[in-house]
A and B are shown apart, each in its own frame.
Chain A
Amino acid sequence: MADEALTAAPIPPPTSTPPPALAVLQKAWRFILQQRTLSVALIAVAMVIYFQLSKSVFLSAGNLQTLIQYISETAIIAAGEVMLLICGEIDLSVGSVYALAPFVMYYANQNGVPLLGGIVIALLVCAAIGFINGFASVYFRVPSLIATLGTQLLVSGVTLVITNATPVLTPDTFPKVTSFAKLFGNNPYFEISWTLAIVIVMQALLSMTPWGLRTVATGGNPLGASEVGIGANRIKMVHFMVASALAGFAGVLGAFRVGSTDPLAGGTTIMFNAIAGAVIGGTALTGGSGTVIGALLGVCVLGILQDGITLIGVNADYYYIVVGAAILAAMILNVRLSQLRKAGQS
């Protein structure tokens, strides 16, 4: 008997056979975890169908433009934010950088710099703010959550002071909208083209280049990455600067789109939406995983939700309840996923 037990074939792993319904649920759960991007895309499509069935204006040209405008700028910010989140950092100051950038362009223009030059200067100023964020987080080791909370206030304070808290007309948008203004955000199709181009470039950087690999390594295992010789500090600095510059670019697009440059534009709302979009799209707040495409889809989900809720006439405040719950669910999913990863199963 004992001998037999010893020589018997290894006991097969306990194949607990759950009832079919449960098995399907488990499979779905695993699928959601593994095919995160696809799942989010499916959710977005489902929501479009739902809102279209409830209100046929949802897919009208006018509403699509509104939607595109909502999504474009937020998704550009999210693209930069995702890279930061992947390398283990975060930037809360993107919303106030969004508001500052078009003013830099405006004042440069007032001082005789052509608009394109003004945009370049604005982006450089934003990159410098990103540099400060990075420097505080990387070299002074202030957690970026706190450091960028500081610059968020600082930058929006500076914007309010230099503008006397008064909006100005965006150049080239009044009395006649020039093609330059259209190219840089006043036309929704140009605007979404910028967004898609930025998302594609950033996603390619992330998943197709050594730089992207090292970014993941930096966030996934900071000590291990530096033991391999990866300059984690430099990688983080660059991502802080890129995230800030992208936020500034989104701000410029927004200013041309609206036609007025408002010191109160963007702010914590757009920052929060960008980070929430990234999280819904599968980016772990703990670093080491995430995709730019996922963040774009996450932002789409949020945009569709906000727009749809308003359209069907539900009190817009419900949006916050739904979004809050969605973010919580997304976080639980993300944490669960990294637990699976750490447990070495899945």
Chain B
Amino acid sequence: MTAPSSEALRVEHIAKRFGPVTALRDINMRLNYGEVLGLIGDNGAGKSTLIKIMTGFQQPDAGTIFVNGQEVKLNSVQQARELGIETVYQDLALINELSVYHNMFLKRELRIGPFLNNAAMRRQAREFLNQMGVNVPSVDVEVSKLSGGQRQAIAIARAVSSNAKILLLDEPLAAMGAKEGAQILDLINRLKSQGVAIIMIGHNYAQVLEVADRVNLLQHGEITFDKPAGKDLMDEITDIIMQEYRATKLGTSANGSVKSGTPTSA
């Protein structure tokens, strides 16, 4: 296992545009093993885009990515996975038509020869979900029949069960009840103590601050704020965001940019 607090993931000068929309302008970010980084920002700030670039699902227009200190080009999700990067996407990426256990093993199916080893996948999925405290009627049930929170738990279980070294969580608690949310936060803490490097996106700052060691704020396509999590951080972040909001509303935003995610007219 990699030594904790050694560098897991670093990105430099990442930029990404979608047609006229500049989602990411110049992102610099670093993440260590055994660390939880909270990533926050407005809707449309580019958080999900950044995660998708880090997991090889999208390719940046510019910038470099380093995994374990080595520069890498992430051309595919599979390539990122081989480097130990796993993702819980905001849209969960579950297949409604497939059972819970097939979803959990999708793209890394257990087999006997060329055939699916359904018995083993079913058993392992069940064991893993029990261990995680996830409550589903049965691993045989189609994912379409689960509640929003259950679906989210399955997506998290899928990412965690593949022994990720670097875990990217895009709003993993959005649909969860208080108890289930707390369970996942505990899980994140456990993984952290095992040396896993984690990025967690969230809009509920209390939840983010509960597990994060450090918080990054993404604004206008850049990381504008990078501080260790502390008890006053919540107020500080809220202040920054509200200031920005008031300034925009008055049309006196310092650099004139209104909000990230708007067409670049320059």
Contacts and interface: CB of A to CB of B under 8 A. Distances in A.
A209 B116 CA distance: 5
B91 interface: yes
A213 B106 contact: yes
B109 A217 contact: no
Interface of B: 57, 76-78, 81, 87, 89, 91-98, 102, 106-107, 109, 111, 114-116, 142, 144-147
Interface of A: 208-210, 213-214, 216-217, 219-221, 223-230, 288-289, 341-342, 344-346
A344 B97 CA distance: 11
B115 A209 contact: yes
Given A213-B109, A344-B146, A223 B98 contact: no
B106 A214 contact: yes
Contacts of A225: 93, 95, 106
A288 B144 CA distance: 12
Contact of B91 (A219, A223, A289): A223
24 contacts: A209-B116, A210-B109, A210-B111, A216-B98, A217-B97, A217-B98, A221-B93, A221-B94, A221-B95, A221-B96, A223-B91, A225-B95, A227-B57, A227-B91, A228-B93, A228-B107, A229-B76, A229-B78, A230-B106, A288-B95, A288-B97, A341-B142, A342-B96, A344-B147
A228 B98 CA distance: 14
Contacts of A208: 115-116
B144 A210 contact: no
A342 B142 CA distance: 11
Nearest to A287: B97
A267 to B, nearest CB: 33
Contacts of B96: 220-221, 288, 341-342
A225 B146 CA distance: 19
Contact of A224 (B81, B91, B147): B91
A209 B114 contact: yes
Given A230-B106, A344-B146, A210 B94 contact: no
Contacts of B98: 213, 216-217, 220
A342 B107 CA distance: 23
Contacts of B107: 214, 228-230
Contacts of B147: 344
B145 A289 contact: no
Given A224-B93, A227-B91, 16 more contacts: A208-B115, A210-B111, A213-B98, A213-B102, A213-B116, A220-B98, A221-B93, A223-B93, A224-B91, A227-B77, A227-B89, A227-B93, A228-B77, A230-B107, A345-B145, A346-B145
Contacts of A341: 96-97, 142, 144
Contacts of B97: 216-217, 219-220, 288-289, 341
A154 B91 CA distance: 41
Contacts of B77: 226-229
A216 B91 CA distance: 18
Contacts of B109: 210, 213
Contacts of A228: 77, 93, 106-107
Contacts of A221: 93-96
Contacts of B91: 223-224, 227
Nearest to B151: A344
A230 to B, nearest CB: 6
Closest 10 CB pairs of A and B: A229-B77, A224-B93, A227-B93, A220-B97, A210-B109, A288-B97, A217-B95, A220-B95, A341-B144, A229-B78
Contacts of A219: 97
A223 B115 CA distance: 25
A224 B78 contact: no
A346 B141 CA distance: 11
A344 B144 contact: yes
Contacts of B81: 229
A234 to B, nearest CB: 12
Nearest to A217: B95
A62 B107 CA distance: 49
A344 B93 CA distance: 16
B79 to A, nearest CB: 9
B150 to A, nearest CB: 10
Contacts of B57: 226-227
Nearest to B158: A228
B95 A210 contact: no
Contacts of B144: 341-342, 344
Contacts of A210: 109, 111, 116
A339 to B, nearest CB: 11
A345 B147 CA distance: 10
Contacts of A223: 91, 93
Most B C-beta atoms less than 10 A away, residue of A227, A288, A346: A227
